[in-house]
Amino acid sequence: MSRIITLFNQCGGVGKSTLTMNLGYALANRSHRVLLVDLDPQASLTTFMGLEPTELKATIYNSLLEDWKLPILTSIHKMDLVPTNINLSVAELELISALNRESRLKNALNPVTFEYEYILVDCPPSLGLLSILGLTAATHLLVPIETEFKSYFGTGLLLDTVQRVKTHVNQNLKIAGFVPMKFDKRRSQHTRTLEQIHRELSPLGTIFPAVPDSTLFSDATEVRKPLACYKSKHPGIQVLSEIAIGLEKL
Ligand SMILES: Nc1ncnc2c1ncn2[C@@H]1O[C@H](COP(=O)(O)OP(=O)(O)OP(=O)(O)O)[C@@H](O)[C@H]1O
Ligand SMILES: [Mg+2]
């Protein structure tokens, strides 16, 4: 059965795109068929996967606004990718008057859903319409949360948006869980925030193991690779693999 997992947090820079690529790789490494979807006009995921966004002939924009067949680039680090570029930034305005706008991503994915066990959707850092499309298409929501006080602060707003989507357009949406990101156990604020995440969010969904703070994540994306292809012995890889195993139980 396909699981469409949308990674969403309106807070910028928490590690959504990094987690999408690295978790996708961990799932693909466990022999699952994985499709990544870049729903952020910044195109970080598209870039992390080694593509040049300005050179793309077709992107998710064409599928959402012009009903094109989904453009799928195959076999990049064992995964497939629906890329994007800056053209998607006008989509929110254009979608305002579009019929059935919330379901546009869900409908675009429909013909290929059965080909994949996991479809991971990387949302932009906003509560806007593109994120709503991501949540409407999803079977599950995965929330990366930075273990910083400031980042945790916005979680209430995020959960309000999820509740609105559940009430109005996607009753079946489930919270897969929360992934604490950039955790540095030497920093007491990180430890306190992680405890708070466990205390306050565990009634809502699984709290997955914390992804450690490490500049090697950034170094790996700089050379357009998942961390596991860059530093295969990094402790973060075991954590990503544990999260992947957790997602197999959904
Ligand atoms: N575990 C980590 N440890 C240290 N740095 C990290 C980690 N994960 C991601 N980063 C770095 O944090 C920065 C933001 O990451 P990323 O682009 O994945 O976040 P994002 O939430 O997708 O951002 P945006 O909100 O802009 O879409 C990048 O420089 C990335 O390399
Ligand atoms: Mg991103």
Q: Which of 227, 242, 114 is nearest to 177 (CA)?
A: 242
Residue 17, ligand 1, Cβ within 6 A: yes
pTM of the model: 0.98
Bigger pLDDT: 153 vs 106: 106
**CA–CA distance, 22 with 8 (Å, rounded to integer):** 15
pLDDT at position 150: 85
pLDDT at position 153: 84
Residue listed under structure tokens 């919270």:
175
Whether the pLDDT of residue 193 is over 90: the answer is yes
CA atoms within 13 Å, Cβ hemisphere of 107: 12
Beta bridge partners of 231: none
Per-residue DSSP letters for 66-89?
H-PPP--EEEETTEEEE---GGGG
What total of structural domains would you count in the chain?
1
CA torsion 249→25→56→144, rounded to 10°?
A: 60
- What three-state secondary structure class fits 108? helix
| pLDDT over 90 percentage in the chain | 97
| pLDDT over 70 percentage in the chain | 100
- pLDDT level of residue 1 (50, 70, 90 thresholds): confident
Whether the pLDDT of residue 151 is over 90: the answer is no
Q: Which domain holds residue 196?
A: 3-248
Q: Which of 26, 112, 30, 115 is nearest to 63 (CA)?
A: 112
Q: What separation in Å is there between the alpha carbon of 77 and the centre of ligand 1? A: 19
Which residue out of 18, 213, 231, 234 has the highest number of ligand 1 atoms within 8 Å of its CB and is therefore the one to mutate? Answer: 18
**Domain with 40 in it: what CATH number?**
3.40.50.300
